[in-house]
Amino acid sequence: MLRLRLASLLLISATLTIGCTTRDKSPGPTEESVGAKPRRNFIIFVADGLRPGSVTKELAPTLVKLREQGVSFRNSHSLYPTFTTANASAIATGHYLGDTGDFANMLYVGYRTFSSGSFSKKAASTMVPFIETDPVLADLDEHFGGNFLSEDSLLSLARAAGYQTAAVGKIGPVLLQDVTQSEGLAKGQAPSATIIIDDATGSADGLPLPPRVLQSLAAAKLSTSAPKRNNGAAPGSSGDNGFLGSLQTPGTTAANVVQQQYFADAVTKAILPLFQSDAAPFGLVYWSRDPDGSQHNQGDSLGKVVPGINGPTSKAAIRNVDANLQQILTYLDAHPEAAKNTDLFITSDHGFSTISRHDLGLKGEAVRGSYAQTLTYRDDHGRQDVATGFLPLGFLAIDIAHALALPIFDPEAQVTSGKTTTYKRVDPTLTKASKTVAHYLSAGNALIGGTGNINGGSDAQVIIAVNGGSDLIYLPGHDAKLAKKIVTFLAAQDYVSGIFTDDSLGELPGALPLSAINLVGSGRLPLPSIIVNFRSFATDPANPAQSQVDICDTALQQGQGMHGGFGRGDTFNTMIAYGPDFKTSFVDHSPASNADVAVTIAHILGLRLPSKGKLSGRVLVEALKDGPNEVAAKATTLRSRPAEGSGRVTILNRQEVGSTWYFDAGGFAGRTVGLAP
């Protein structure tokens, strides 16, 4: 039973954004800035991959209650590319991706991870890592001067001002909330400030916990090691939430219940009681893997785009996250003094879509003309693992390499011959792999051109980072002629819808500049040369955002779930705010995004958030008590020049509040859900 009292005002949001059009350049909080009023507690609750249309009384009664009693953001946005770590960096810092450099979950970082520094004793790894792991984040931090995001986070600002801080939940985005704490993993020491509990807690890959937290967990009779996602079921069974299935076998039919119950228990039985024993205020980020994890791996719709991510497993995941939220609220409700002084902001990092690796619509339309889809793919046992005529994992790399007549190498695989080690060459035309040549890309990422050289950096001409609904393409030589050739090729492919290119390459027909989506800023990581958005369509024209289907570059099957695209189904996230500093029963129609969360919370706390870059969010003044009911906003549409040959035009629908931008949809006309031409 929901036990929310208006007297127990909370501020809830699935995402944190730092929002203001201008940012103070001062080095940090001052006594004057924090002493003007009672120091609020804050909770940021992130429901990974939660779509607004999934918040119903049947599935999410707690969220519905908060949405009705607090602020409901009806014009909310994820940042594009719509990936988890990218939006986690925005929620943490209040900056757009051009300033944080966190463009996607899979990135080309310019060096081989674990090749030097504190992690050099590990085997040197790929230059295109999946960054949702604590060791990779720690290695990036060390390589880029202690904070690879460049910008300070809200949690780091709060702890500098004397707040007790914690981040709990999904590995990767949790550590990103106070990423400098990764130093504890590099040194094998517990962080002295922010408590980090995620999937890796208690393992060699997790951050050590300080003694007082270990004692608090033990007192609550909780393990000091986080459980796996398998729910205690046999690995690879339908009850294993981490089981993604295969071409022949459906994925999971269970939500991530056991692991998330542990995280909720850690918050309500160990961390918050520990904070309650101290007079200092607290800041907490809780990052729920559900519904994202279950929507990715669900086995309700193998090979079919309907019901896709709207089946029973996805619905169970929504109930799961709602139960976690209710448990936290119940704890606060039992401690009225804390409740009445706590702001809660709820957000989701992105929306979600059903995967297509073949279909382009419901009337028999299908991908045609991809070289990659004409080949047959088999696993190491000789079994076909991609349906005939379907796009394989790494199809973009295979198609580009074929068009350019260049060799492909796998950045995740190596071959040693004598004293020479190179990246493994890939030949997708092979019927059987050899010791030196693979017939598929192990993670979809690719080095195209060159010799496969490892030492001294790759000599590849093109590097592909595969991410799902969009892929990132890097050109280490910044060759504008090569970029134009690739853009012209991409614009002619029927699975593509929209292309964005590095401004330094000049205006390329068929593409809009990366600066148009705030991807060019002060970030330290290599900037992609090209970002390609894949095509999307809706299975329910009456509810397109809730029924979006994306062409995806992924190992997951058609009918499972993914995000990352530029359709409104992926950019439309869930945002709710509730608490003593927010309006009650207010519907906010002004544009808002994940970049506004941290800025707004910092404003409420009276803290000055330092800023190196200029691409920051705004304070959501219209949602605050005594604030205006709306802010001046305008809608704009940008169009590229037509691509050579195909004539395709990349279109961008954008909203603007002052100098703050919000991205609705982008792509080619008729190929992206929610795109207004």
Q: Which residues contact 382 (CB under 8 A, 6 or more apart)?
A: 432
Using alpha carbons, select from 644, 641, 359, 667 the residue that is nearest to residue 492.
Answer: 644
Q: Where are the alpha helices (DSSP H) in 209-311?
A: 211-219, 257-265, 272-276, 292-297
What are phi and psi for residue 431, nearest 5 degrees?
-90, -20
Alpha helices in 383-540, H assignment, sequence order: 395-404, 480-491
- Nearest-CA neighbor of 407 among 366, 443, 458, 363? 458
What are the pLDDT digits (tens) for 228-252?
A: 999 999 999 999 999 999 999 999 9
The helix or strand, by DSSP H or E, that contains position 175, with its residue range, turns out to be: helix 173-176
Q: What angle do the packed helices 257-265 and 312-333 form, to 10 degrees?
A: 10
Query: If pLDDT is split at 50, 70 and 90, which confidence band does 435 have?
Result: confident
Task: Give how far Cα 562 sits from Cα of 57, 82, 116, 192, 642, Å.
Answer: 25, 10, 34, 36, 29
pLDDT value of position 124: 87
Secondary structure E strands in 341-419? 342-347, 353-356, 408-417
Averaged pLDDT score across all residues of the chain: 93
Phi–psi pair at 165, nearest 5 degrees: -130, 150
Number of neighbours of residue 312 by Cβ within 10 angstroms? 12
Helix (H, G, I), strand (E, B) or coil at 656: strand
Classify residue 458 by burial, with Cβ atoms within 10 Å: 0-12, 13-18, 19+.
Answer: buried
- 565 has a pLDDT exceeding 70: yes
Tokens standing for residue 229: 């996602």
Q: What's the token pair of residue 344?
A: 């809660």
Instruction: Report the distance separating Cα 487 and Cα 645, nearest Å.
Output: 11
Question: Using one digit for the tens of pLDDT, what is the confidence trace for 573-625?
Answer: 999 999 999 999 999 999 999 999 999 999 999 998 889 999 999 999 999 99
The answer to whether the beta carbons of residues 25 and 54 sit under 8 Å apart is no
pTM of the model: 0.94
CATH code of the domain made up of 31-354+570-623: 3.40.720.10
Above 90 in pLDDT, residue 23? no
Phi–psi pair at 86, nearest 5 degrees: -60, -50
Query: pLDDT tens digit string along 216-227?
Result: 999 999 999 999
Task: From residue 512, give the alpha-carbon distance in Å to each of 85, 320, 508, 648, 650.
Answer: 24, 40, 8, 12, 6
Burial class (CB in 10 A: 0-12, 13-18, 19+), 110: middle
- pLDDT of the residue at 382: 82
| Contact predicate 190/184, CB 8 Å | yes
Q: Are 630 and 620 in contact (CB under 8 A)?
A: no
Q: What would the pLDDT profile of 127-143 be if each residue is shown by its tens digit?
A: 999 999 999 999 999 99
415, β-bridge pairs: 422
pLDDT tens digits along 628-655 = 999 999 999 999 999 999 999 999 999 9
The pLDDT of residue 15 is above 60:
no
Assess contact for 341 and 535: CB atoms under 8 A.
Answer: no
Pick the more confident residue, 268 or 119: 268
> Given pLDDT bands bounded at 50, 70 and 90, which one contains residue 37?
low
Q: What is the pLDDT of residues 359-371, one digit of tens each?
A: 999 888 999 999 9
Contact 47, 87 (CB under 8 A): no
Mean pLDDT of 509-517: 98
Residue 7 has pLDDT above 70, yes or no: no
* Contact present, 92 and 154 (Cβ < 8 Å): yes
Percent of the chain with pLDDT over 70: 94
Which is it for the CA torsion 133, 135, 141, 144, positive or negative? negative
Tell me the Ramachandran region of residue 506: left when phi exceeds 0, alpha when psi lies from -120 to 50, beta otherwise: left
Domain boundaries defined on the chain: 31-354+570-623, 356-538
Q: Is the pLDDT of residue 410 over 50?
A: yes
**Nearest-10 crossing angle of helices 84-93, 597-605:** 20
What confidence score (pLDDT) does residue 188 get?
76
- Distance between the two ends of the chain, CA-based, in angstroms? 46
User: Which amino acid, one-letter code, is at 567?
Assistant: G
Mean per-residue pLDDT, 198-208: 95
pLDDT at 16 over 70: no
CA nearest to 282, candidates 291, 273, 290: 273
Tell me the pairing of strands 496-501 and 420-426: unpaired
* Cβ pair 197, 226 in contact under 8 A: yes
Q: What CA–CA distance (Å, rounded) separates 57 from 480?
A: 53
pLDDT tens for each residue of 41-54: 999 999 999 999 99
Q: Which DSSP state fits 72? A: E
Q: Helices (DSSP H) in 458-589: which residue ranges?
A: 480-491, 568-571
Say yes or no to pLDDT of 296 above 70: yes
pLDDT (0 to 100) of residue 191: 67
